[in-house]
Amino acid sequence: MSKILIVAMTTLLATWAVACSSEAQPGTPSAEQSKLTGIVLDVAAGSLTQIETLSVQDDTGAKWNFEAEGYRGWLPSHVRDHMVQGLPIIVTYHEEAGVLLVDEIEDASSGG
């Protein structure tokens, strides 16, 4: 009887693992990602550890506004340092319902 229970539990766990691996992970963008390099114009913090919104100016002078809902990466203070020093960043983002959402922020001056 214990062999049947072990086989049943193993089968159940294997089925669960396969089902979970095919689902989109939290924070995974549902749309294609794009990258933008530019200078930080403004950053609004939702807390000490979370960016709420981000504005970046690209090399053509266009202003890009991003929301950072769900972004867990750079602290607002780090982004503000880049803004104050005029250091460029690379923002990887995707669009959902007309809103540009931050997926990743990198230091452009160090090549990523």
Task: Assess whether pLDDT exceeds 90 at residue 27.
Answer: no
Q: Residue 37: what pLDDT?
A: 95
Q: Which domains does the chain have, with CATH numbers?
A: 34-110 (2.40.50.140)
What does the pLDDT average to over 67-79? Answer: 89
List, as one string, the DSSP characters of 86-100: T-EEEEEEEEETTEE
pLDDT of residue 2: 66
Comparison of pLDDT for 80 and 112, the residue scoring more: 80
1 compared with 43, residue with greater pLDDT: 43
pTM comes to 0.68
* Amino acid identity at 12: L
Letter for the amino acid at 58?
Answer: D
**For the chain, where are the alpha helices, taking DSSP H only?**
2-21, 76-85
